[in-house]
């Protein structure tokens, strides 16, 4: 049933092929990384003709499994130079899976200056000019496409940042309300899409169907057990549902690991003003929506709909990392300003984590003052205009630091650190340093065990057990991304053994397999080995698996800790 769709932007051809044997048994991140590792020259230009952009739903896509509609976007990153998989919610993952498409592989380059859109339907695939969409943000792009294709489809698009091939550019996916609010943000995949001249993809699920399942009764039973686990675990049934990911602001602030004013402190005095509890309160007062799923089949519902002071739609609930990047990290305590910034980033097509760090580094350089919300919005507008300053800021925190001579630049492999300081939460520091894709909290979310005590208790301020924790989580996360599951299912999986068993049982029932827990671990290891091999061939080595020097030399208030895990321990992480 499942096929690979190859889109050649050089000759504007679209071809369907069977899944080759060497890609069998893979989906989501596993498939994007396998295609990139096998087909993309590691030393090629990330925005040149030899890079490829891959979209892939997960192995459990188009099934009744809860929270299984995520989509992976892969390629060589213009930001890091490494292999990259960026993950998103929205409707596209389920729609592609229902159409029997395991992956869309975009290859080659079009004639300079030309833009195209790709229509994907049931046995219908068509490239057509999209020059009329040039220069539009994601919201206007989707509105214009809705006039032609309607509201029963899913849209994938880039904004101005992607067209300009900024290294901080994201790929936007529409949610259930057909708004471009879900983003594959990390690593500059929007720039790769822009380099291909692909402005938008329209995915029409009409005529699609649920994926075939070998043992329907066994799948149904396992799916029910998995759903019950999500409904029983307090994180996935209460915390995230009521307060969104922004519930973490107060938690991480209390732990002393909330990076403040460009990673100069671990606590922010205005944390309460931007925390999930306040987000919930404002949303209810303005009659917005609390507890909203970003994709069909989501039962965690960690998002919401945020209205402005006049009661008009502004944006979805900003994620914790977005609130942090533009809030505490920039010294800003205004949720309305952060919500406006979130909307603008979605519209321009920008990674809120990367660009929030860019602005914080610019503030460190004195371009604006910390705490200047209006100034942060002005700098973001420069990116949207494509001015010289805007191009610098849109290129990511590493470039901003070099341009303005800033010493404290929080990046690994040129990708900015997310919302957890590695000196106060050392397990996540291991993940930042060693991830195959640059600093990335989702690659191995050690915060769960260090701070939230999910899956055990590893003291966040001590070095013991951190490498082992990060290793096991990086392996598990590679599997979760390959299956197309939301990362938050990890909370019950880490605490409730049957939640993990239910996932294995669903995969076995769907594909007629007899995988064991060891087989699942081996799959995660296989994916990480592929990714690491690509990076090695691209010129990366152990010296790149390091945090910036200031994390080892500057003590972080309030705990006055440094990141002190030995280099040889970091280098042992991939010894499996």
How confident is the model over 329-347, as pLDDT tens digits? 999 999 999 999 999 999 9
Enumerate the H helices of 295-438 as residue ranges: 320-326, 335-348, 352-364, 373-385, 388-393, 397-404, 426-434
Distance of CA 527 to the CA centre of its chain: 17
Q: Which residues on neighbouring strands pair with residue 561, listed in sequence order?
A: 556
DSSP 353-365: HHHHHHHHHHHHT
**What's the CA gap between 437 and 51, in Å, rounded?**
16
pLDDT per position as a tens digit, 254-274:
999 999 999 999 999 999 999
- Provide CB contacts within 8 A for 150, sequence distance 6+: none
Whole-number CA gyration radius for the chain: 22
What rounded mean pLDDT belongs to the chain?
97
Q: Which two tokens stand for residue 233?
A: 């675990």
Angle between helices 373-385 and 352-364 (to 10 degrees): 120
Structure tokens at 391: 């191009």
Name 366's Cβ contacts closer than 8 Å, sequence gap at least 6. none
CB 515 within 8 A of CB 521: no
At residue 218, the pLDDT reads 98
Backbone phi and psi for residue 427, each to the nearest 5 degrees, phi listed first? -65, -40
Q: Is the pLDDT at 1 greater than 90, yes or no?
A: no
Structure tokens at 293: 């799923």
Structural contact between residues 476 and 528, judged by C-beta atoms closer than 8 angstroms? no
Structural domains of the chain sorted by starting position, each given as residue range(s) with its CATH number in brackets: 3-203 (3.60.9.10), 214-243+422-576 (1.10.599.10), 247-420 (1.10.569.10)
Burial state string for 404-435 with b = 16 or more CB within 10 A and e = fewer than 16: eebebbbbbbbbbbbbbbbbbbbbbbbbbbbb
Look at residue 451 in the predicted model and tell me its pLDDT: 98
pLDDT range class, residue 131, cuts 50, 70, 90: very high
Q: Quote the pLDDT of residue 316.
A: 98
Say how far apart CA 263 and CA 422 lie, in whole Å: 10
Q: What integer pLDDT is reported at residue 361 of this predicted model?
A: 99
Instruction: Work out the pLDDT band at 494, boundaries 50, 70, 90.
Output: very high
Identify the band that residue 449 occupies on the pLDDT scale cut at 50, 70 and 90.
very high
Tell me 441's DSSP state. G
**Is it the case that residue 483 has pLDDT exceeding 90?**
yes
* Model confidence pLDDT, tens digit, residues 270-303: 999 999 999 999 999 999 999 999 999 999 999 9
Distance CA 248, CA 220 (A): 34
The single-letter DSSP state of residue 350 is B
Is the separation of the CB atoms in 314 and 343 below 8 Å?
A: yes
What's residue 68's pLDDT?
97
Question: Residue 69 pLDDT more than 90?
Answer: yes
Residue whose pair of structure tokens reads 């596209």 in the numeric block = 92
DSSP assignment letter at 431 = H
| CA-CA-CA-CA dihedral for 385, 391, 395, 397, to nearest 10 | -90
How much is the average pLDDT of 196-223? Answer: 98
Residue with tokens 């999930």: 276
- Looking at the predicted structure, is the pLDDT value of residue 477 above 90? yes
Strand order in the sheet with 289-292: 289-292, 303-307, 313-316
* Segments of 108-178 assigned E as strands: 116-121, 124-129, 154-157, 171-173
223 pLDDT above the threshold of 90? yes
Q: Mean per-residue pLDDT for 99-122?
A: 97
Q: How far apart are the first and last CA of the chain?
A: 34
How confident is the model at residue 229, as a pLDDT?
97
pTM score: 0.98
Inter-residue contact 194 to 124 (CB < 8 Å): no
Query: CA 572, CA 242: separation in Å to the nearest integer?
Result: 40
H helices, E strands: number in the chain: 25, 17
């Amino acid at each position: 049933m499942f096929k690979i769709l190859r889109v050649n932007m050089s000759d504007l051809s679209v071809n369907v092929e069977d899944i080759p044997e060497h890609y069998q048994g893979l989906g989501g991140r596993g498939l994007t990384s396998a295609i990139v590792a096998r087909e993309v020259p590691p030393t090629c230009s990330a925005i040149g003709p030899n890079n490829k952009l891959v979209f892939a739903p997960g192995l459990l896509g188009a099934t009744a499994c809860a929270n299984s509609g995520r989509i992976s976007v892969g390629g060589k990153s213009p930001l890091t130079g490494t292999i990259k998989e960026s993950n998103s919610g929205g409707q596209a993952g389920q729609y592609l899976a229902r159409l029997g498409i395991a992956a869309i592989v975009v290859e080659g380059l079009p004639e300079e200056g030309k833009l195209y859109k790709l229509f994907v339907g049931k046995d219908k695939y068509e490239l057509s000019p999209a020059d009329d969409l040039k220069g539009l943000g994601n919201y206007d792009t989707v509105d214009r496409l809705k006039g032609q294709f309607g509201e029963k489809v899913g849209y994938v698009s880039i904004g101005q940042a992607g067209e300009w091939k900024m290294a901080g550019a994201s790929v936007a996916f529409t949610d259930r309300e057909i708004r471009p609010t879900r983003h594959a943000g990390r690593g500059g995949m929007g720039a790769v899409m822009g380099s291909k001249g692909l402005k938008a993809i329209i995915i029409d699920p009409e005529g699609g169907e649920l994926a075939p399942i070998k043992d329907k009764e066994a799948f149904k039973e396992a799916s029910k057990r998995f759903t019950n686990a999500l409904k029983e675990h307090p994180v996935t049934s209460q915390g995230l549902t009521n307060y969104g990911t922004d519930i973490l602001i107060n938690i991480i602030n209390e732990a002393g690991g909330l990076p403040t004013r460009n990673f100069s402190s671990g606590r922010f005095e205005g944390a309460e003003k931007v925390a999930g509890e306040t987000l919930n309160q404002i949303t209810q007062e303005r009659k917005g929506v609390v507890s909203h799923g970003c994709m069909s089949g989501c039962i965690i519902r960690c998002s919401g709909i945020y209205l402005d002071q006049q009661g008009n739609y502004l944006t979805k609930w900003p994620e914790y990392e977005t609130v942090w990047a533009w809030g505490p990290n920039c010294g800003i305590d205004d949720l309305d300003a952060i919500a406006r910034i979130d909307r603008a980033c979605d519209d321009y097509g920008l990674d809120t984590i990367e660009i929030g760090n860019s602005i914080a580094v610019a503030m460190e350089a004195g371009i604006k003052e910390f705490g200047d919300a209006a100034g942060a919005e002005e700098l973001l507008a420069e990116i949207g205009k494509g001015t010289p300053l805007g191009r610098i800021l849109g290129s990511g925190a590493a470039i901003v630091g070099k341009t303005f001579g800033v010493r404290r630049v929080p990046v690994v492999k040129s990708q900015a650190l997310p919302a957890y300081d590695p000196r106060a939460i050392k397990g996540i520091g291991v993940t930042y340093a060693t991830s195959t894709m640059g600093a990335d909290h989702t690659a191995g979310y050690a915060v769960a065990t260090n701070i939230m005590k999910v899956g055990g208790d590893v003291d966040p301020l001590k070095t013991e057990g951190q490498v082992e924790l990060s290793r096991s989580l990086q392996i598990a996360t590679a599997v979760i991304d390959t299956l197309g599951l939301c990362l938050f299912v990890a909370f019950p999986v880490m605490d409730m053994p049957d939640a993990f068993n239910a996932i294995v049982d669903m995969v076995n029932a769907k594909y007629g397999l007899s995988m064991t827990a060891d087989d699942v671990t081996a799959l995660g290891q296989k994916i990480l080995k592929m990714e690491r091999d690509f990076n090695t061939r691209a010129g990366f080595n152990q010296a790149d698996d390091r945090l910036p020097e200031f994390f080892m030399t500057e003590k972080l208030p309030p705990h006055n800790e440094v990141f002190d895990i030995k280099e040889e321990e970091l280098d042992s992480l991939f010894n499996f």
